[in-house]
Structure 1
Amino acid sequence: MRAWPGRQWAVITSAAGTVFIAAGAFWLSFTSLADLARRSGIDDGQAWAWPLIVDGVIVVSTVAVVALGGERVAWYPWTLLAGSAAVSVTANSLHAVVSADADVPAGLAASVAAVPPVVLLAITHLTVILTRARPSEPADQTAKTAGAVSVALAPLTTMQADTVAITPSMSERAAGRRERAVELRESGLSNKKIARALDVHPSTVGRWFADAHQSDEPAQRDSAPLPEGATA
């Protein structure tokens, strides 16, 4: 019995949770980067585009890395992913250092601000993996399927073996035709009539008798008497 329905619900629940976490991490990183863009001189109406570009590249390149797997062209999305993640983490840390209260250590503020982009990177990767998860067929089901296929193919294998056993080989058929040709020749039929009776070409019948005649000649020469006065 398959346990896939329960696993499917677990995958759905995990995917939903990762989506909410990714949305929260994206929002925290988005607001920090947008404020940093405004502090850097970008107009308020355009500051929102900068974090969208930086964190958007993280999401898109992560999906591309998972989709391409181990293919050779995967180096390019990996490069985009590393670059965009480095920019996002650095920018969030700088924003925290600039906007943090004076009594907060700069290292602590930078570490806290670096969490959202790192979580966004990891959770996006996890979400893509969960959505691509597929159930694997149980081993016993695979064995049953293989056994059923073997049983279904068994009659065919038996029929093929019987056919091979019943069907004579080509050499046996040729030898039988030659013997039949000799019998018909002794009965007085011509090569053409013998060929017609055996369903072969007349030249084939002529070659059979020529080969038989040549094989008999050495024996005849060996059995011929020696001339008078000659020594063996």
Structure 2
Amino acid sequence: MAALTVEGLNKTFRGGLFEKDRHVLRDVSFSLREGQTTGFVGSNGSGKTTTIKCLFDFIHPDSGTIRFFGQEIGNEVKTRIGYLPERPYLYEFLTGEEFLKLHWNLCYGSVTKDFAERAKESLRKVDLLEAKDRRLRTYSKGMLQRVGIAQAILTRPDLLILDEPMSGLDPDGRAMVKDILREEQKRGMTLFFSSHLLQDMEELCSDLVVINKGQILYKGDLPTFMSEFQSLEKAFQVLKNKGAMDV
């Protein structure tokens, strides 16, 4: 069973009085293999974030179906998914541990006996255990990104979805995030993350979904993609000129 299946997703944002409608997603279809890491790559404005927001019903698509583990999204399915948006809102008056406790409560309704162990585990993975009692307002940008990832992996989800998880990080921060994702890969988690940086995909992904101007240009495994195009940068340019391609 696929961890996620998207079929025929369309989304148009209606224009104002003097604005044209914007058709931002055009028949977007792809699926994620369980236990694999899939990169979602496209330039800024290509439709990555809109697609991800549709997955969680933050915005409503005009048409299409979305299924997680064969089911429509609901409370039971949500407990199996970890998510970090591109621009998360972090409550700066909370400590790192309190921030995790808030998200644990949202997921399970109350703090259970497993919370302390899971919080310690998540904070250790992102190297923030010693900062757990500090207010988020004192965290650096890299620390805030890492505590966001700690929140996303707190419940040991089966599927982790990250929107531009390395955006704005310095080289050390990017390396740490990649190490965290590799650790989750070893655990067998299904990973889906978006980026406009092609190098991230080559380093971490087994599968690839390429989107441009709201259309899927490629969906398939990375080795096949690389054998045909040699490099992601070259392939992206070829596929943009060629139009939609499906493997």
Asked which structure has the greater CA Rg, the reply is 1
- TM-score, structure 1 normalization: 0.23
Which structure's residues are more often helix, by fraction?
1
- TM-score, structure 2 normalization: 0.22
Instruction: Considering Cα pairs closer than 8 Å and 6+ residues apart, tell me whether 1 or 2 has the greater RCO.
Output: 2
